[in-house]
A and B are shown apart, each in its own frame.
Chain A
Amino acid sequence: MDLAYTEEEEAFRARLREWLGSVLPGLPGKPDPGDWPGRRAYDSGWQKLLYDAGYAGLHWPADAGGRGATPTQHLIFLEETERAGAPYVGANFVGLLHAGPTVAAEGTAEQRARWLPPVLRGEEMWCQGFSEPDAGSDLASLRTRAVRDGDDYVVSGQKIWTSHAEVADWCELLVRTDAEAPKHRGISWLAMRMDSPGVTVRPLRTLAGSTEFAEMFLDEVRVPVSNRVGAENDGWRVTMVTLSFERGTAFVGEVVACRRTLDALAADARRSGRWDDAVLRRRLGRLNAEFRALWRLTQWNVSEAQAGGGVPGIGGSVFKLRYSHARQELYEAAAEVLGAGDDLDLDREWVLDRLSSLSYTIAAGTSQIQRNIVAERILGLPKGR
């Protein structure tokens, strides 16, 4: 147990901090959330800057074009970029954190050469075609089918909750290639071009008013067989690789952001006099304990991953459960601090964040599914009924 960072890690942090200080002031202003072409340009511009400075794909293996950084260096990167107020990964999320690592781990040499460099350079964006209207948490019951026709699969079906579908070039698509096999065994993982004939994207409006994700209709879309990652019908295993990346370090930056928000809330409450309310003040104090502990838990998980050869573990489920609920409590407290009608003003950033926080206990596996994972896979309780 030694929470100190090594000299090398501190040097890495210092270089990164210096670079952020030099590059951030020159960034253009953030685009409007509804301006998708603007958002794509902004996110891809940031990714290009990272690439040119040698920070792209930090946690990817070196033979996939990444920097082969240790989990601790990745942690420092996420901490420092968030602390400096640098742009979030944005529409590059799926490419950098899901599809890219999956192709790096499971793809052929040709597939890696074709798909990975454009992700790192911010030239191509990916979206995730996993969920379906009738297959939410029970992902393996998906029905979108792919039928082999010569060198192509012909894909028909419907996907939903497809984040950033409007600006994506590629979709990591789960399809059923064997309808007769047990449901986990007949699935394959395909990379599909979003401009293929037969792909229709219809944005979904969230309760926060934004169109973060979309429905996607697939009508006899032709996808080359060579775009399949992993063996035919082995897509479930490939997907589990993807999901373990998702639950690994996906929320590191956000914990830092929550701590910043909490400080800002307290400062606001001190200015407005709301601080004199002992119940509210102590509620904020409790949240301070919560987010400090979540930060330490993050370090713990990263340290475990580093000791275990860089593989993210299922400890991520424990983190996600605690974090997603804490984040909702943070914005409940924010509404109480704002009060006086400001808690109803959608132009206040905290009000939008309060709405967004509602998705955290649902997205990437609901809290109920996470509890099943924790109970069965960590605590060893019997399979559910």
Chain B
Amino acid sequence: MDFQLSEDQRALRAGIRDLLAGRFDRDRMRAAHEGGGGVDRALWRELGAAGFFALRLPEAEGGVGLGLPESVLLFEEIGRALLPGPLAATQLAAGAVKGAAEGEAVVALAEAGRPVGHLEGADALLVLDGDRARVVTGAALRQVVDGARPVRSLDPGTPLWRVPDLSAYEGEALPDGARLRREGALLTAAEQLGSSSRSLEAAVQHAGEREQFGAPIGAFQAVKHLCAGMLVRAEPARSAVYAAAVTGDPVEAAGAKLLADEAAVGNARDCLQVHGGMGFTWEADVHLRLKRAWLRAGQWVTTTDAEEALAADLG
């Protein structure tokens, strides 16, 4: 039984981290959020060229031929970098939507009852309705966009639209919607995991530098215990996410999403607390992570869905 990352997986993770540091550093991240969010097409193509969307397509189909565990490592880095855009939906649609694999197409996620992110710039909509999935494109997509109205989005990185009842719009049915939902939940959980680690690092760094009462605030137990609590939230979530990626088990994926949502939201809140008044300003990044974490928690598998799925597994 080996639960360690392989050499190749470590190298992959390091490569992704370097690539994102080069293409999407903090200045660009802030600029993207100040600019109203939305998808940067040039960056999207670069990500496509680097294999972000084709990661799991077979090599015979022009993909990278890797699996769900590697995808999870990729999305963890995406979460750390706070990269905006419907990345999970686009990767899942690679192979089904023309141009998605190459980063030429943006595939937005539409779930019943939720506002749709990145609708205006989308080339296709991945519509999830229970365990049924379909892709809406072309004229039907234009109709959806025409009938949508923008929402003032809580998350500065994700422009949102309220859309009319999606059931009226025809699309191409995708097989195995339950698998798409499960994998989308897992990739999103991985983003949450990356976000929770980043929040922890930011809190520890601040606690080590900021001095009050003649000492770094990290020397005080009250702050120390907040930081320890963040690690205790993140590590079980990490084990759950990685294990679910290896086993592909639906109940395990639900548990992973539940714990990763909790870790991302909880760690962002505690990071804000450690930063004190500075944490409540727009200049600090932590609110961006918190808002994105809230958004992701409502996608693919919500807390209620996850708890019910996990309960059904018992007894």
A residues in contact (CB < 8 Å) with B: 1-6, 9, 72, 75, 262-263, 265-267, 269-270, 275, 281-286, 288-290, 292-294, 296-297, 299-300, 302-304, 307, 315, 318, 321-322, 368, 370-372, 374-376, 378-385
21 example contacts (A-B, Cβ-Cβ < 8 A) are as follows A1-B4, A2-B1, A2-B3, A2-B246, A72-B1, A266-B314, A282-B311, A285-B309, A289-B310, A293-B236, A296-B236, A300-B239, A302-B3, A303-B2, A303-B4, A318-B232, A318-B235, A376-B224, A379-B204, A383-B219, A384-B221
Q: For the complex, is B281 an interface residue (Cβ under 8 Å from A)?
A: no
Contacts of B69 in A (CB 8 A): 1
Q: For the complex, is B242 an interface residue (Cβ under 8 Å from A)?
A: yes
Contacts of B247 in A (CB 8 A): 3
Cβ 8 A contact of A289, one of B5, B220, B255 = B255
Cβ 8 A contact of A378, one of B2, B208, B231, B304 = B231
Contact A266-B242, Cβ < 8 Å, known A3-B3, A5-B1, A282-B304: no
Cβ 8 A contact of A375, one of B5, B225, B243, B304 = B225
Contacts of A372 in B (CB 8 A): 221, 224-225, 228
Contacts of B219 in A (CB 8 A): 381-385
Q: For the complex, is B165 an interface residue (Cβ under 8 Å from A)?
A: no
Cβ 8 A contact of B224, one of A282, A284, A381 = A381
Alpha-carbon separation in the docked complex, A321 to B224 (Å): 14
Alpha-carbon separation in the docked complex, A265 to B314 (Å): 9
Per-residue interface assignment for chain B, residues 254 to 293, with 1 indicating a CB less than 8 Å from any chain A CB and 0 otherwise:
1110110000000000000000000000000000000000
Contacts of B313 in A (CB 8 A): 285, 288
Alpha-carbon separation in the docked complex, A385 to B216 (Å): 10
B204 & A380 in contact (Cβ 8 Å cutoff): yes
**Closest CB of chain A to B244's CB: distance in Å?**
9
Residue of A nearest to B313 (CB): A288
Contact A297-B310, Cβ < 8 Å, known A292-B255, A375-B227, A379-B204: no
Contact A303-B1, Cβ < 8 Å, known A371-B224, A376-B224, A382-B215: yes
Cβ 8 A contact of A368, one of B215, B225, B240, B309 = B225
Contacts of B232 in A (CB 8 A): 318, 321-322, 374
Cβ 8 A contact of A379, one of B227, B251, B309 = B227
Residue of B nearest to A325 (CB): B232
Contacts of B2 in A (CB 8 A): 1-3, 303
Contacts of A6 in B (CB 8 A): 1
Residue of A nearest to B203 (CB): A379
B224 & A375 in contact (Cβ 8 Å cutoff): yes
Say what secondary structure dominates the interface of chain B.
helix
**Closest CB of chain B to A289's CB: distance in Å?**
3
Contacts of A4 in B (CB 8 A): 1
Alpha-carbon separation in the docked complex, A294 to B237 (Å): 9
Contact A288-B314, Cβ < 8 Å, known A3-B1, A372-B221, A382-B215: yes
B307 & A286 in contact (Cβ 8 Å cutoff): yes
**Closest CB of chain B to A385's CB: distance in Å?**
5
B224 & A266 in contact (Cβ 8 Å cutoff): no
**Closest CB of chain A to B155's CB: distance in Å?**
25
B228 & A379 in contact (Cβ 8 Å cutoff): yes
Q: For the complex, is B218 an interface residue (Cβ under 8 Å from A)?
A: yes
Cβ 8 A contact of A299, one of B1, B220, B256, B258 = B1
B307 & A285 in contact (Cβ 8 Å cutoff): yes
A374 & B231 in contact (Cβ 8 Å cutoff): yes
Contact A293-B1, Cβ < 8 Å, known A285-B309, A371-B228: no
Closest 5 CB pairs of A and B: A285-B311, A266-B315, A289-B255, A266-B314, A303-B3
Contacts of B220 in A (CB 8 A): 384-385
Contacts of B307 in A (CB 8 A): 281-283, 285-286, 289
**Closest CB of chain B to A85's CB: distance in Å?**
18
Contacts of B207 in A (CB 8 A): 381
Alpha-carbon separation in the docked complex, A4 to B251 (Å): 18
B221 & A304 in contact (Cβ 8 Å cutoff): no
Alpha-carbon separation in the docked complex, A383 to B306 (Å): 40
Q: For the complex, is B167 an interface residue (Cβ under 8 Å from A)?
A: no
**Closest CB of chain B to A334's CB: distance in Å?**
13
Contacts of A262 in B (CB 8 A): 314
